[in-house]
Amino acid sequence: MPHEIEVEQYLGCLTNALDAVSQAVFVHDSSGTLIFDNAAARDLGAARHEEAGLMRAIEEAIASGRAGRFKDRSFSIFGPPRRDFSIRTRPASPERQHIVVTVIEDLTIRNQLDTIRRDFVANVSHELRTPIGALGLLAETLAFEEDPKVRQRLANRIQNEAFRVSKIIDDLLDLSRIESEGASQQADIDFVELVTEVLDQAAPAAELAGVSLQFELSGSNFMYHGDKRQLRSALANLVDNSIKYSEKESSVNLELTRTPSTIEISVIDHGIGIPQKDLERIFERFYRVDQARSRQTGGTGLGLSIVRHAVGNHNGVVEVESREGSGSTFRIVLPTKGEEQK
């Protein structure tokens, strides 16, 4: 009897352990009878309509295993959103070839991360190759140029390209820090002062572009507890983009609004706007709506990614409304923390 109790306890522990893993595990005998399934497998068993195809693929894999053909398969649900799975069948043991163990793993997040990593490396390489290639060509030309005016123009171009490389690296470091740290350096922030600081910093660029900056308040008590450096970076990027993509003699309007549960900052421009097809992708790293204009203005394609992560670190959201040719409105919505924010 003690031995039976020990076996029962062991099987209970094994069942609990398999219920804890994220992979779905099925065990069938040679007749196809289900001997065991863990919690993840039971969830798949209650599959929704769009997952019916996955269950058919699993059943086919089990049938192949019962016939002695054990192999790995892959299956994708194209969604949206797309989901990717691996299906592996194995015998329970060399002595128990008739017992089929089937393991299903959801590879969606892993594949998405692999895709993001590949795209990131490719984009960084491309973004750096262009200015570095230009630097080499300009330096070679400068070495053999005797006209002082041409030499000065080439030197200015080299300086601009070097600044562009430096800006890409700075934005990459800024984005990496924001992603890894979260909102780590929190303190009380007066948002009126924060917006004023950002506008003062952006004023020279706005004057050079022929764009006026306007600031309006709605409500009172704009104190907030958060990471000032991250929020300043987010707001500065939105203002900088609005200036770059506005036409001369237009305006960029900032509206700061206090509601009972949020602080909202809207950055409104009257520039070229964003096509509907691009709205879902503008927060991706290096994604540009207007490639030529972005390169001309020195944009790195990382600004809106920085905005999204900085705001997300404060449990906020970034909303965007835009129509091509009619300007854009970006709105940061930050939840306040009740009495702590008062």
Closest listed residue to residue 269, CA positions, set 225, 331, 217 = 331
Both tokens of 102, joined, read 């089937």
Phi, psi of 100 (to 5 degrees): -105, 125
Residue 210's nearest CA partner among 170, 283, 163, 270 is 270
CB 245 within 8 A of CB 327: no
CA-only gyration radius of the chain, Å: 29
Helix (H, G, I), strand (E, B) or coil at 283: coil
Residues paired with residue 100 on neighbouring β-strands, in sequence order:
28, 91
Tell me the Ramachandran region of residue 112: left when phi exceeds 0, alpha when psi lies from -120 to 50, beta otherwise. Answer: alpha
126 in catalytic set: yes
Residue with tokens 């004057």: 207
Terminal-residue alpha carbon distance, the chain: 66
- Of 21, 63, 53, nearest to 38 (Cα)? 21
Burial of 7 (0-12, 13-18, 19+ CB in 10 A): exposed
Which of 126, 225, 270, 314 is the catalytic position?
126
Adjacency order of strands within the sheet including 212-218: 212-218, 251-258, 262-269, 328-335, 317-322
Helix (H) or strand (E) holding 63: helix 52-66
At 160, the amino acid letter reads N
CA 63 to chain centre: 40
The residues that are catalytic are 126
